[in-house]
């Protein structure tokens, strides 16, 4: 009979840890639930910090090195907090052909951030994506989860400036 | 449950809707939603409430012509997209006009002709329900003949007969490889391990491809039905759908479909009241292109880094957690129900000698009609681009069509008369891939295109094997130098040599095919590279 590991205490009394724990419990705290669990941490907290990685590792009885390995392997997992707003410029082939590069340049010129960076005031994170699947609307951007198609540099800069 | 009982159930569902003669269908797939289909739907529903009348407003899946979205179709019950009155670029303000026109005179200013080749030339098998049924409605799918193939397989066919039917259909893997599906099923079905898995690969990573997303968003039950039939044929009781996390709407609709299929007894411990048990779980990707490779995908389902391993052993022998595993792509599974329903011979009558059936393509780039089409295998590329796609807008000339994403290559204009099937595309140095087609006009710089794809492969390389990890870096460096007119003839020679080495020695498909865009642009557009070479040795 396998010994029942003692589950580690939640890293804080934030209620969101219950959601994370729920994901692990549904999967029987199995190691193969790691990616699902990291998704649920990121959904709840926006990014994966060190205490959360340690908590997940201990809960699923996995070495921290493995958890860190998975968290850094997949592009979607963020180890740093994002800005209050996120602008994802699609860099899929169709968008690239139709001028996604100009959108990235325009955002960099206006707000001083390259893809993967966040402005100093934490207002805006800029990212690129490998095809958001809106190729019919190229070039496409995703601003705070909403997809906007057929964008020009002017459209996009104006849209970001409107954000509070 | 037997076939007759299901048919009766379908008739009941159809009768419930018989009070309406017309339907107002609003495309609620991701692309039209991005163009504002949500508010259009609300406005139409509001106008419907105000006017009453004998019609029904319903959200449906992709109608194909994404560039004209939001699309709204007014159709008689049961009519397909081509047989309806279609409206393009609909705004919420148009709702009253559209509702007022139902059963009467169409609103001419919004019309999108459906007799144009884009609609008329398509043959819909995979997309037969797409844009017609409500993807979130279990009843809608059953009313359209859904789950009849599963019930037929369970009640009238042995697992071996199901495999035989798929072999007879000549269906080949739609994810890009083109491996005969029936052969794969037959291999897994012969394994003696009592635990087997069915996996649906919905990690559609090729930039410029959105076929699988559209199928999952428009007709998710069809994929589940295909998976359940596969599970019955090979003797599996557990399935996984591995979907990209970048497709939240597809994930949501698939989850709804799984829940409803389970509640109605088409998934679970007694599928359709038989002894056959089948459960399906969704696993989310996390943004790694390499996870489209089957061994990497399985590693990711197991919660590991998505790194491939050498094959053999193939997943059919040694797959998820060491058990025999059948992995097929979304579109492959979506073809299964029609094959079982109409017979393998019917399917084999469509297409060419060695590529059977239809194929869904995503048309994008500089082309008039961007969106999703389904045509029989063997349709020429010129027909697809110039007739169905409407050609390059603004009177510019088409220069090349890129197929197969970062693993494929470019077909230059002079070869557009080639019939599209697995084998003929290979002779041109490209591949079918999953179905993304990017049309490029004369303004496209082919060296830049090659650099773009190499950058993609470089950042997506998992780092496990040296040829891919280091080779893509070096090739990207060389391409970058050449693209900036800083490269020499020696750089070009070195690039070609590296292409060969990386192709021959990489562990998985990602590395083996990473040089393809370079080789194919070199083959047809070598002059563009040479004109960029700097003077020197």
Q: What's the CATH code of the domain at B526? A: 1.20.1440.230
Domain membership of residue A59 as a residue range: 16-73
Asked if A47 reaches chain B (Cβ–Cβ under 8 Å), the answer is no
Instruction: Note whether B326 and B166 are within 8 A (CB).
Output: no
Is B308 in the same domain as B218? yes
Asked whether residue B52 carries a pLDDT value surpassing 80, the answer given is: no
Point out the domain boundary residue: A7, A39, A73.
A73
Mean of per-residue pLDDT scores for chain A: 91
* pLDDT score, position B53: 66
Asked whether residue B99 carries a pLDDT value surpassing 80, the answer given is: yes
**In angstroms, what CA-CA distances link B354 with B55, B171, B328, B349, B357?**
45, 9, 19, 11, 10
The interface pTM score, or ipTM, of the predicted complex is 0.90
Asked if A149 reaches chain B (Cβ–Cβ under 8 Å), the answer is yes
Provide the domain count of chain B.
4
B12 occurs within a structural domain: no
Is A130 in the same domain as A150? yes
pLDDT in tens, B267-287: 999 999 999 999 999 999 998
Mean of per-residue pLDDT scores for chain B: 94
Is B198 in the same domain as B238? yes
Return the percentage of chain A with pLDDT > 70, whole number: 97
A35 occurs within a structural domain: yes
* pLDDT score, position A3: 59
**In angstroms, what CA-CA distances link B108 with A100, B85, B95, B115, B131?**
35, 10, 14, 15, 21
**In angstroms, what CA-CA distances link B369 with A21, B268, B431?**
47, 42, 23
Across the interface, do A74 and B208 touch by the CB < 8 Å criterion?
Answer: no
Residue in A77, A78, A54, A76 with CA at minimum distance from that of residue A66: A54
Instruction: Note whether B197 and B326 are within 8 A (CB).
Output: yes
Identify which of B31, B306, B365 has the shortest CB distance to residue A97. B365
Instruction: Compare all CA atoms of chain B with the CA of A68 and give the residue at the minimum distance.
Output: B305
Is B267 in the same domain as B165? yes
Provide the domain count of chain A.
2
Q: What is the CATH number of the domain that holds B24?
A: 3.40.30.10
Is A65 in the same domain as A126? no
Nearest-Cα distance to chain B for A34, in Å, is 5
A128 occurs within a structural domain: yes
Is A153 in the same domain as A95? yes
Is A50 in the same domain as A29? yes
B453 Cα distance to chain centroid: 20
Is A53 in the same domain as A116? no
**pLDDT band, residue A145 (cuts 50/70/90):** confident
Is B397 in the same domain as B456? no
Is A90 in the same domain as A154? yes
Is B62 in the same domain as B153? no
Is A68 in the same domain as A91? no
Is B376 in the same domain as B429? yes
Is A61 in the same domain as A94? no
Mean pLDDT of B1-11: 90
A155 occurs within a structural domain: yes
pLDDT in tens, B158-170: 999 999 999 999 9
Number of other residues whose CB lies within 10 A of the CB of residue A15: 9
Is A92 in the same domain as A149? yes
Is B517 in the same domain as B422? no
Is A22 in the same domain as A64? yes
Q: For chain A, how long is the longest CA-to-CA vector?
A: 65
Mean pLDDT of B164-181: 94
Asked whether residue B212 carries a pLDDT value surpassing 50, the answer given is: yes
Nearest-Cα distance to chain A for B290, in Å, is 10
Asked whether residue B536 carries a pLDDT value surpassing 60, the answer given is: no
Which of chain B's residues have a Cβ under 8 Å away from the Cβ of A76?
A: 245-246, 285-287
Is B428 in the same domain as B284? no
A156 occurs within a structural domain: yes
Nearest-Cα distance to chain A for B335, in Å, is 22
B300 occurs within a structural domain: yes
Is B181 in the same domain as B313? yes
Instruction: Compare all CA atoms of chain B with the CA of A43 and give the residue at the minimum distance.
Output: B245
Instruction: Note whether B72 and B25 are within 8 A (CB).
Output: yes
Domain membership of residue B516 as a residue range: 446-532
A3 occurs within a structural domain: no
Query: Rounded to an integer, what distance in angstroms lies between the CA atom of residue B242 and that of residue B329?
Result: 10
Residue in B364, B456, B352 with CA at minimum distance from that of residue B402: B364
Across the interface, do B35 and A149 touch by the CB < 8 Å criterion?
Answer: yes
| Overall size of chain A counted in residues | 164
* pLDDT score, position B537: 47
A30 occurs within a structural domain: yes
pLDDT in tens, B115-134: 999 999 999 999 999 999 99
Nearest-Cα distance to chain B for A61, in Å, is 13
Residue with tokens 């080639």, as numbered in its chain:
B418
Token pair, residue A53, equals 């990685």
Asked whether residue A163 carries a pLDDT value surpassing 90, the answer given is: no
Point out the domain boundary residue: B298, B317, B348.
B348
Is B102 in the same domain as B219? no
Is B250 in the same domain as B319? yes
Is B386 in the same domain as B416? yes
Q: What is the CATH number of the domain that holds B370?
A: 3.10.20.600
pLDDT in tens, A20-75: 999 999 999 999 999 999 999 999 999 999 999 999 999 999 999 999 999 999 99
A20 occurs within a structural domain: yes
A105 occurs within a structural domain: yes
Mean pLDDT of A78-89: 90
Asked whether residue A1 carries a pLDDT value surpassing 70, the answer given is: no
Q: What is the CATH number of the domain that holds A92?
A: 3.40.30.10
pLDDT in tens, B340-352: 999 999 999 999 9
What's the predicted TM-score (pTM) here?
0.95
Across the interface, do B213 and A133 touch by the CB < 8 Å criterion?
Answer: yes
């Amino acid at each position: 009979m396998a010994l029942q590991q003692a589950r580690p205490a939640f890293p804080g009394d934030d209620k969101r840890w219950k959601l994370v724990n729920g994901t692990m419990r549904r999967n029987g705290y199995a190691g193969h639930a790691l990616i699902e669990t990291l998704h649920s941490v990121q959904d709840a907290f926006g990014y994966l910090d060190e205490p959360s990685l340690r908590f997940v590792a201990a809960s699923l009885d996995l070495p921290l090195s493995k958890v860190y390995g998975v968290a850094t392997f997949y592009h979607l997992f963020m180890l740093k907090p994002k800005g209050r707003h996120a602008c994802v410029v699609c860099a899929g082939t169709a968008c690239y052909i139709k001028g996604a590069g100009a959108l990235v340049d325009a955002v960099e010129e206006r707000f001083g951030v390259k893809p993967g960076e966040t402005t100093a005031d934490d207002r805006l994170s800029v990212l690129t994506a490998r095809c958001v699947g809106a190729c019919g609307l190229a070039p496409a951007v995703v601003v705070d989860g909403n997809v906007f198609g057929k964008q020009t540099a002017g459209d996009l800069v104006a849209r970001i400036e409107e954000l509070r | 449950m037997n076939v007759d009982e299901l048919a009766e159930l379908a008739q009941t569902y159809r009768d419930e809707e018989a009070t309406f003669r017309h339907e107002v269908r609003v495309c609620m797939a991701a692309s039209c939603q991005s163009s504002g289909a949500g508010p259009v739907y609300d406005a139409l529903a509001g106008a419907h409430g105000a006017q009453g009348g004998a019609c029904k407003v319903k959200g449906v899946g992709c109608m194909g012509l994404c560039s004209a979205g939001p699309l709204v179709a007014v159709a008689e019950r049961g009519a397909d997209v081509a047989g309806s009155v279609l409206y393009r670029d609909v705004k919420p303000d148009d709702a009253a006009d559209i509702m007022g026109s139902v059963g009467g005179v169409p609103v001419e200013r919004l019309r999108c002709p459906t007799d144009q080749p884009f609609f008329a030339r398509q043959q819909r098998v995979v997309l037969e329900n797409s844009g017609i049924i409500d993807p979130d409605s279990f009843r809608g799918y059953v009313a359209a003949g859904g789950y009849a193939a599963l019930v037929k397989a369970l009640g009238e066919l042995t697992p071996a007969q199901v495999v035989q039917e798929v072999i007879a259909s000549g269906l080949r893997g739609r994810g890009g490889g083109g491996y005969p599906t029936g052969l794969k099923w037959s291999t897994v079905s012969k394994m003696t391990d009592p635990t087997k898995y069915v996996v649906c690969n919905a990690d559609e990573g090729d930039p410029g491809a959105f076929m699988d997303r559209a199928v999952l968003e428009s007709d998710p039950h069809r994929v589940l039905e295909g998976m359940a039939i596969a599970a019955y044929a090979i003797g599996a009781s557990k399935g996984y759908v591995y979907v990209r996390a970048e497709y939240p709407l597809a994930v949501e609709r698939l989850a709804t479909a799984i829940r409803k299929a389970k509640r109605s007894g088409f998934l679970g411990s007694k599928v359709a009241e038989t002894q056959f048990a089948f459960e399906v779980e969704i696993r989310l990707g996390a943004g790694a292109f390499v996870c489209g490779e089957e061994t990497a995908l399985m590693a990711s389902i197991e919660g590991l880094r998505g790194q491939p391993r050498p094959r053999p052993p193939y997943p059919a022998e040694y797959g998820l957690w060491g058990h025999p595993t059948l992995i097929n792509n979304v579109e492959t599974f979506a073809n299964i129900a029609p094959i079982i329903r109409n017979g393998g011979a019917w399917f084999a009558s469509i297409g060419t000698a060695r590529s059977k059936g239809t194929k869904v393509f995503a048309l994008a780039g500089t082309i008039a009609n961007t969106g999703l089409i389904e045509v029989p295998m063997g349709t020429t590329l010129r027909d697809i681009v110039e007739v169905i796609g409407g050609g390059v807008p603004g009177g510019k000339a088409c220069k090349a069509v890129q197929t197969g994403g970062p693993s494929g290559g470019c077909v230059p204009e002079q070869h557009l008369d080639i019939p599209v099937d697995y084998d003929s595309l290979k002779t041109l140095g490209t591949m079918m891939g999953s179905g993304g087609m990017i049309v490029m006009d004369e303004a496209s710089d082919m060296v830049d295109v090659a650099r773009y794809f190499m950058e993609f492969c470089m950042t997506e390389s998992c780092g496990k094997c040296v040829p891919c990890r280091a080779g893509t870096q070096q090739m990207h460096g060389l391409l970058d130098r050449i693209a900036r007119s800083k490269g020499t003839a020696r750089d070009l020679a070195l690039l070609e040599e590296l292409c060969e080495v990386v192709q021959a020695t990489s562990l998985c498909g990602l590395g083996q095919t990473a040089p393809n865009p370079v080789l194919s642009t070199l083959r047809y557009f070598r002059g563009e590279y040479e004109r960029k070479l700097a003077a020197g040795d």
